[in-house]
Amino acid sequence: MPSLLKIVAVNIGIFIVKLFVYTYEILTWPIYSIFRRHIQYMPLTDPKIEEDYTYDPEEKRTLAMSTRQGDPSAPWRAVEAMDSLLTQPAPNLATAVDIWLRSVKLHPNSNAFGTREILATELEAGPGGRSFVKLTLGEYFWETFAGAELRVSRLAAGLNSLLADASHEKAPIAIFAETRAEWFYSSQAIFRLGCPLVTLYATLGDSALVHGLNETEVTTLFISDDLMSKVPYVVKNCPKLKLVIFMSHGIFYYLNNDKNSDSRLSQAAQKDLNKARASLNNGIKLMDIIDIEEMGKNIMATKKSDPGPGLWMPADESMLPKPDDLAVIMYTSGSTGMPKGVELTHRCMSSAMAGFVKRLPKLKPDKDIFIAYLPLAHVLELACELVCVYVGMRIGYGNPQTLTDNSTRIKVGACKGDVTKLRPTIMATVPTVLQRIEKTVWEKITEDGLLAKRLFKFAYDYKLRRLRAGYPSFIVDKLVFRKVRKILGGRIRYLMSAGAPLSQSSQMFAYVCFAPIIQGLVRACSPATWFIEE
């Protein structure tokens, strides 16, 4: 309980701050009133609208209209897509393979994918005798688009050799892993072979995981090294499974030319690997993703494929996916029962990307950085990363448990969180994560004492009022919110929210403290329903 003297001192301090801020506001109000700009309607990429539709850009922002004038029960579309829906972000980009190879050609030497090195892993004692994993993380190491394509081609060539049996042709291939660069590389290799990709959340339990694998009759499974404890159960209960490929840390293998497989795995993962190998039966193979890439490297060195946009392409062009071919069988999180598989074609994915590109502000390949930490098993993260690839942006991989300096797996004092190191400009999120960030902000403010808490509350209310009136808030941005923005690296330009309903309070908090937040609805609807910046 603060003393009476302290409360009085705080009140005097807040009064002085308010006096200064309001004096500045009164003096600058005429200037802001003259030069402020309001967006009265949605700016269109192509402002030409067919004469059949009534559209007055001066009255208010018209975002959508009925496809049959005068019939509100008819389907509604965005005003710039009245004649047809968007299906491609650019011409001739109808599949995930097309999108990837275009960016490799346009940005070969640009950094594309960043991964942090794990310097140390230790167990920290917690309450109740429980132990918690704490990580010491290093800097981000980057792979260029050309370097990533080399790995994708080697992986595709090696995988194609292993699956040469006709019985494997076009068979679904599953990925069960957390979000990481190897996830994306594996998905591109799978797409290049024309096989459907089965995505499974890394948080699924044993029975849900086996349900998804058996329902899709998967014969090949990519799995994270941290999840290899699941292999014995999967092998025992998935009779059609023939090949399990575990993801070790490939970037550090190539950077350090490290041939010792033990150094690519944590001690816990190495123990799980030994148990997994002991559980193999019926001719099931367990291989490191690096070994698949080395196999592909040898194939590419001895047997040249037909010339094509990629370093290695299937000799039979019919293997490459078509727009209406099945791209992904995406399983839900299983929060309300057994997970359910949702089928998405390549055209569906490219259409979602077209919506992203149309709705997002202009992205800059040389400046913008995307922080990737949401599950790639969800269409939101997968579509976001494909958009980043399309633009030529950098993608830095993180983890929800190492995202900020105060995240649960960060060893305090030993390293910083992912966003502090990466300093991203674009971030996709979900309401749950935003609530955690809001909680972190209030905890830090409370730790700084009563004056800091009162000052932050005043600055928050002041900026919110100014935003709603259409005015900037330079003073409080510089004095207060610049420090708050450092929680997410200090450079966030836009936040994107989807996956669940976003409360008004969370939306306003993110907008005031960090950056404009683009809100959408769930799953693939997100890019179609994100509102334009207010």
56-97 pLDDT per residue, tens: 444 456 778 888 888 888 888 887 777 788 888 889 999 999
Residue 443 burial by CB count (10 A; 0-12/13-18/19+): exposed, middle or buried? exposed
Distance CA 125, CA 129 (A): 7
Q: Which of 276, 249, 275 is nearest to 260 (CA)?
A: 249
Q: Are strands 131-144 and 173-176 parallel, antiparallel or unpaired?
A: unpaired
Between 424 and 518, residue with greater pLDDT: 424
- Stretch (H or E) spanning 438: helix 431-447
Helix (H, G, I), strand (E, B) or coil at 66: strand
The answer for residues whose C-beta is within 8 angstroms of residue 355's C-beta and 6 or more apart is 86, 527, 528
DSSP state of 372: E
Question: Can you say whether the dihedral through the CA atoms of 106, 109, 111, 114 is positive or negative?
Answer: positive
What residues pair up with 485 in beta bridges, in sequence order? none
363-412 pLDDT per residue, tens: 889 899 999 999 999 988 999 999 999 999 999 999 999 999 988 899 88
Q: State the residue for tokens 């996709």.
A: 428
Helix (H, G, I), strand (E, B) or coil at 65: strand
Q: What is the 3-state secondary structure (H, E, C) of 23-39?
A: HHHHHHHHHHHHHCCCC
Would you say how long the chain is, in residues?
534
The answer for residues whose C-beta is within 8 angstroms of residue 470's C-beta and 6 or more apart is 36, 38
Distance CA 186, CA 121 (A): 26
Between 303 and 193, residue with greater pLDDT: 193
Contact assessment for residue 337 and residue 331, using Cβ atoms and an 8 Å cutoff: no
How distant, in Å, are the alpha carbons of 53, 134, 408 from that of 421? 50, 17, 17
- Determine what percent of the chain falls in helix, strand and coil, rounding each to the nearest 5: 45, 15, 35
Q: Which of 82, 12, 11 is nearest to 44 (CA)?
A: 82
Contact assessment for residue 121 and residue 266, using Cβ atoms and an 8 Å cutoff: yes
The mean pLDDT of the chain is 84
In this prediction the pTM is: 0.87
List, as one string, the DSSP characters of 486-533.
GGGTS---EEEE-SSPPPHHHHHHHHHHT--EEE--SGGGHHHHPPPP
Q: Is the pLDDT of residue 19 over 90?
A: no
Contact assessment for residue 196 and residue 327, using Cβ atoms and an 8 Å cutoff: yes
For range 288-303, the mean pLDDT: 90
Q: How far is CA 498 from the centre of its chain?
A: 11
For range 152-169, the mean pLDDT: 82
So what's the pLDDT on residue 61? 61
Q: Is the pLDDT of residue 534 over 50?
A: no
Between 499 and 418, residue with greater pLDDT: 418
Helix (H, G, I), strand (E, B) or coil at 260: coil
What residues pair up with 114 in beta bridges, in sequence order? 142, 396
